[in-house]
Structure 1
Amino acid sequence: MKLRFTTFLFILFLFTGPSLLVNTAAAQNLRIKDYNNNGWYMYFGDHKLSDKWGVHTELQVRRFNVLKDPQQLLIRTGINYNMTPDAMFTLGYGFIETHPYGDYPAASTFPEQRIYQQLQLKGSLGRIGLTHRYRLEQRWVKPAGADDYTYLNRARYFLKATLPLAGSSLEAKEPYLAAYDEVFVGFGENVKQNVFDQNRLYFALGFKFSDAASAEVGYLNQIVQKANGVVFEHNHTLQLGLTYNLDFR
């Protein structure tokens, strides 16, 4: 998949636009910054059942103060449909449990349930491997102390680049560098203040053990606008991720 000039400009905006958006908003309103140090420990797997169909599995244990205190538990699964070798559609479900953390915590632990639709595209730009991910989420969040769930809509765009360190392409038993940016935008009548929901910028060192397995250790800079539109979290996050894809064909 070759990258055209317009796509390049969009990628440039992706990496610079969120910070401009946040800075513009900050100039208009009083903002409170909440700085946190977190650790996210993650497993991902896309398991093929046939040439076209497969299953997605995912578990993320997120900790506040890097490891000491609970922050969030995320369990996500889905059904994959491989349209081409480089294009995959997923329909899935996620359960998230969020704990109080930071200087402006929630009143108590609260749950969230999601349904999501996702299109993932793979390509390259020279030696750099690219992954685009477009995701729509329908979210049911039960805030601390509330009797009922609140329904929210959110769109996400994710762009990841990988650079092999041992050759012109990434092969098994080789290291690589990785970087991604993901923008979250809320929409719908219940979004209120945080149309800009969050942005995640990530850099990592990875190792590809085999065609099925890889691991990454990296740093995530996460900016989150809380629902009140006033508090902005600036989360410095250690990420440890394992990907292991099983083939049941």
Structure 2
Amino acid sequence: MLIDHAPAPRRPRAVGHSLTTLVLVLCAIGPRATTAQSTTPWRTIRQDHLWLATFVDQPITSRWAFLGDVQWRRTDAGRNPQQLLTRGSITYRLTPGFRLGAGVNYVATAPYGELPSARPLRDRQIFYIAQINQKLGGTDVMQRYRFENRWLADVLADASGQDSLSASRFALRARYQLRGSRPLGGLTLRTQPVIGIMQNELFVGLSRTDRGVAVDQNRFSFGAGLPLTTTKRLDVLWLQQWIPVSRARASENNRTLWIVLNHTGRAR
């Protein structure tokens, strides 16, 4: 959700093309949903979610920065819990428009919706990111690549009702996000332009722990960014989330209202 407006160098563009090709190859060779044929048709489940989030991009020095976000996700139009996510990373700007980083992530997921998991899930991650920002005409374009090492554990309840975690299952996942944003005509708020946003993020599971499929998830969203101050912006987005659930031979096609408070600190 965060955009670096500095112009991008030519070299990272080549890196972006190479990494995009890698993601497409991973989609082609990743594990499939199942090797056995089944006559049961796949179903589509539609659910309504509400996600609230805050994103922080705070420079530490001229090259180092902290990226972090906290997200509170609800299902059934906000009535029931879905996920709580906390994430933080440190990035280094190699050249204008090109930054690398690493961080940690913790996700607590509750059984939710029409295809609930058997137990609550805890997902602890160490991840690596590469982010490329470019200016194409009047549009700011961001490409972000993320590679996640994941330790997944179920929440178990003993006879006394105390919670504990199962043994962790290790999994790998790659993600690619493409985002574009530009001012919406002459619309302004507090003398600053309102921006239009469109983005898509593809998740590729690299082990059978990730639902046993190659494409683990896809998120497409669009909306508007409303300036609040020179460092803060409120994004109001409509997100369409697609998740295949192979164990149930069904797909989630979730409609989500995503509200994000962004803070982009001043460069030092």
**TM-score, normalised relative to structure 1:** 0.83
Q: Is 1:174–1:209's contact at 8 Å kept on the other side of the alignment?
A: no
Tell whether 2:236 aligns with 1:225: no
- Residue 173 of structure 1 aligns with which residue? 192
CA distance in 2, matches of 1:152, 1:165: 41
In structure 1, list runs of 5 or more residues that go unmatched. Answer: 18-26
Q: Is 2:62–2:267's contact at 8 Å kept on the other side of the alignment?
A: no
1:1-249 aligned at under 5 Å gives the runs 1=8, 30-145=41-156, 147-166=166-185, 173-188=192-207, 190-191=209-210, 193-226=212-245, 228=247, 230-247=249-266, 249=268
CA shift for structure 1 position 129: 1.0
Label 1:95 to 1:213 Cα distance change in 2 as closer, same or farther (>3 A). same
Label 1:217 to 1:28 Cα distance change in 2 as closer, same or farther (>3 A). farther
Q: Is 2:210–2:216's contact at 8 Å kept on the other side of the alignment?
A: no
CA shift for structure 1 position 120: 0.7
CA shift for structure 1 position 207: 1.9
Return 111-120 or 100-109, whichever deviates more. 100-109
CA distance in 1, matches of 2:114, 2:140: 39
Which of structures 1 and 2 has the larger relative contact order (alpha carbons within 8 angstroms, sep 6+)?
2
Alpha-carbon RMSD across the aligned residues, in angstroms, is 3.2
CA distance in 2, matches of 1:209, 1:181: 25
Q: Is 1:172–1:209's contact at 8 Å kept on the other side of the alignment?
A: no
Q: Is 2:48–2:76's contact at 8 Å kept on the other side of the alignment?
A: yes
In structure 2, list runs of 5 or more residues that go unmatched. Answer: 1-7, 28-37, 157-164
CA distance in 2, matches of 1:98, 1:60: 12
Matched pairs, number: 234
CA distance in 2, matches of 1:216, 1:95: 23
Amino acid at match of 1:68: R
CA shift for structure 1 position 39: 0.6
SS at match of 1:117: strand
Return 189-198 or 176-185, whichever deviates more. 189-198
Identity %: 27
CA distance in 2, matches of 1:28, 1:234: 22
CA shift for structure 1 position 135: 0.6
Amino acid at match of 1:233: E
Amino acid at match of 1:126: G
SS at match of 2:179: strand
CA shift for structure 1 position 189: 5.3
CA distance in 2, matches of 1:95, 1:191: 16
Greater gyration radius: 2
SS at match of 1:88: strand
